[in-house]
Amino acid sequence: MIPLEHVIGLSAILFLIGTVGALTRRNLIVILMSIELMLNAANLAFVGFSRAWGEHDGHLFVLMVIVVAACEVAVGLGIVIALFRNRETVNVEDVSLLKW
């Protein structure tokens, strides 16, 4: 039997890797992929707790998160393509007009 702490620990590590990627990378596509990784880490925590309590609620949350992730990718990559069409770049440092 796998202890729940190890599942949550794995989830935390993956979430941190995703956070580091979203904060440090310059390629907009890789930033989106890092956000996907963070969503997956949250899914892993949901599945782990669902297994521990023997209820299906976590699985259903995961299904919703997967749908949200798919929608996010569709819209996000649409934005990336629109950005590339207008500015010929997907580097976030070239599109920092709104940055404070």
Partner 1 sequence: MSAPELFFYGAGALAVVSALGMVLNVRNTVAAAMSLVVTMIALAVVYVVLEAHLVAALQIMVYAGAIVVVFLFVVMLLNLRSDAFAPPRQRLLKAAGAALSVGIAAAFLSLVPASLPTMRDVPDGFGGYRAVGAELFTRFVLPFEITSLLILAAVVGAVVLAKRRLD
Q: Which residues bind partner 1 (CB under 8 A)?
A: 1-10, 12-14, 16-18, 20-21, 24-27, 29-30, 32-34, 36-37, 40, 43-44, 47-48, 50-54, 56-57, 59-60, 62-64, 66-75, 77-82, 84-85, 90-91
Q: Which is nearer to partner 1, 93 or 97 (CB)?
A: 93
Q: Which is nearer to partner 1, 80 or 95 (CB)?
A: 80
Q: Which is nearer to partner 1, 85 or 99 (CB)?
A: 85
Cβ distance 73 to 36 under 8 Å? yes
Checking phi first, is residue 88 left (phi over 0); if not, alpha (psi -120 to 50) or beta? left
Show contacts of 17-25: CB within 8 Å, 24+ apart. none
**Does an H or E element contain 47, and which?**
helix 28-53
